[in-house]
Amino acid sequence: MSDPVTDIIYSYIESIQSDKPSTANRCSAATMCVRRRWYANKGLPGEKLTARKIINFSQGDIAELNYKYWVEKACLGSVYSELDFGTKTGEVKVGGTTLVTHEQKTITFRIGPFNIPGHVDGLGKRVSDGKWELIEFKSASSYGFDEFVDNGPGDYLKQAHALMMTDELIALGVDSVRFFYLKKETGEIYSRLYQFDNSIAVTVKTEFLQSNQETAPDQPYGFVDKKMDKTRTVKSVPWQCGYCAYLETCKGPHKVEFKSGKPVYVFE
């Protein structure tokens, strides 16, 4: 349900979105399936992100600024002797808090003939042993937050490993990443440190090569059944496909229905 003014806002946001995603040869793309990355690297036009998704991404950026502020205030001197969030670009006053914006550093690693750039949320030099660790901030739904607490950050570990394989972080001796998670609904936070895992690094390298090969890689995700109510189950896709710009190209025509305010992609 929406009103005319909301529709105007949604329409504006969707009108400024490009239907051609940027190349997938970047560290942040390590979380994406190789098929999606292959489409992007081939320059195929994709579906525009919906206004709801764009707003949600912006909320995540704001949450990162807020979380970064508290980490710096609480952890500098106790957990970290130094923190590096990049080059300061400005300040945003929110109530009695001054949030600082930064331009993140660009770092790179090479896989075959391809340069893979990336950007780090932050780096922290530990008080305990003087070593630098990678810092990653994530805002999540209640489900995503609980999943992190119970089972870890999932594919975000691949993104972190791509960053830890860059020349710049290797030179610093970075071999671990701390994820700082924020539950958007309640403000609950949680962090956990992960060591560099060579098996994950091998997967990251393999998938970057697959996403640049001549033929399309196999689809990693199949269809799933989703229960809409007590009497109706539909053929749909897992959540990983919901944010993909190539859903129709990869899976075929579909329609969108909503369950509890969230989109469900329904296929024949």
Does residue 135 share a domain with residue 225?
no
Does residue 258 share a domain with residue 135?
no
Q: What is the pLDDT of residues 20-34, one digit of tens each?
A: 656 799 999 999 999
Q: How many structural domains comprise the chain?
A: 2
Average pLDDT for runs of 10 along the chain of length 268? 88 81 88 95 86 90 94 98 97 92 94 94 98 97 95 97 98 98 95 98 97 94 94 93 91 92 90
Distance of CA 82 to the CA centre of its chain: 25
Give the model's pLDDT for residue 95. Answer: 86
d(CA 133, CA 131): 7
Does residue 91 share a domain with residue 195?
yes
The answer to whether residue 195 is domain-embedded is yes
Domain that holds residue 256: 221-268
Does residue 236 share a domain with residue 139?
no
Give the model's pLDDT for residue 20. Answer: 60
Does residue 170 share a domain with residue 254?
no
Specify the pTM: 0.90
The answer to whether residue 85 is domain-embedded is yes
CATH number of residue 124's parent domain: 3.90.320
Give the model's pLDDT for residue 36. Answer: 95
Does residue 169 share a domain with residue 74?
yes
Give the model's pLDDT for residue 19. Answer: 61
Q: What is the pLDDT of residues 189-201, one digit of tens each?
A: 999 999 999 999 9
Give the model's pLDDT for residue 16. Answer: 84
Does residue 163 share a domain with residue 116?
yes
Give the model's pLDDT for residue 46. Answer: 84
Give the model's pLDDT for residue 47. Answer: 83
The answer to whether residue 16 is domain-embedded is no
The answer to whether residue 203 is domain-embedded is yes
